Each structure stands twice: as structure tokens, then as C-alpha cells.
Amino acid sequence: MIKLKLTQEPYITGYDGAFFPEYDENGKASIEGWFGAMYTARAVDKNGNEFRVFWRIVNENEPEFACDWDNPTMILDKQYRNVTNKLGL
């Protein structure tokens, strides 16, 4: 598994009721996805390729434990291809 390094602090994106589609390995948006706000951050691999990392919020009351930070919900490359199964933090 290729490791990524975050290049910014995760921040909240979206809002209650917002829908985030799940993307497949070809960059096609699915009708499946997640509702509500999520955390996101930019990341890079060792070659400088850029990615967006997304985490679902599981605990709104404690920001430090708001998400499962070690297991992102979705990682997208610049073409919106879902590479979650190939990359990690």
C-alpha cells in the first residue's frame, strides 16, 4: 500500500443534508454516497501526486475523535478516481 502525507489540516466541508457521491476507480460518480458534512484534506504521495482525502464524521461532540482518522472514507486522485484501496495514511 502506498502511503500518503497530508499537506493541510483536515477541515469540514459540506453541511447537514449535503450529499457526497462515492466515486469508482474510473472517476464515475455513483448514486451511492454519504449525507452530511465530512472532513477533507489534500495529500501527496512520495512522487508528489496530489489527492483529496475524505472522512465521515462519526462523533460530532469531540473533534479529536470526530472521524476514524486512520481509515479515510474515500481517497480521490486528480481525475476523481477512487484509489482508497490502493493508498493509505
Please return the burial class of 51, using the count of CB atoms within 10 Å of its CB with bins 0-12, 13-18 and 19+.
Answer: buried
Per-residue model confidence (pLDDT) at position 48: 96
Q: Is residue 35 part of a domain?
A: yes
Q: Is residue 22 part of a domain?
A: yes
Per-residue model confidence (pLDDT) at position 2: 81
Q: Which amino acid is at 69?
A: W
- Domain region containing 39: 2-81
Q: Is residue 37 part of a domain?
A: yes
pTM: 0.91
Q: Is residue 11 part of a domain?
A: yes
Structural domain count of the chain: 1
Residues recorded for the chain? 89
Over residues 51-61, the pLDDT tens digits come to 999 999 988 78
Q: Is residue 86 part of a domain?
A: no
Rounded mean pLDDT of 29-43?
A: 95
Three cell numbers at 53?
Answer: 482525502
Neighbours of 71 (CB within 10 A): 11
Q: Is residue 73 part of a domain?
A: yes
Three cell numbers at 57?
Answer: 464524521
Q: Is residue 21 part of a domain?
A: yes
Q: Is residue 10 part of a domain?
A: yes
Name the average pLDDT for the chain: 92
- pLDDT-derived band of residue 68, with 50, 70 and 90 as boundaries? very high
Neighbours of 59 (CB within 10 A): 11
Rounded mean pLDDT of 14-39?
A: 94
Cα–Cα nearest to 76, from 47, 54, 45, 58: 54
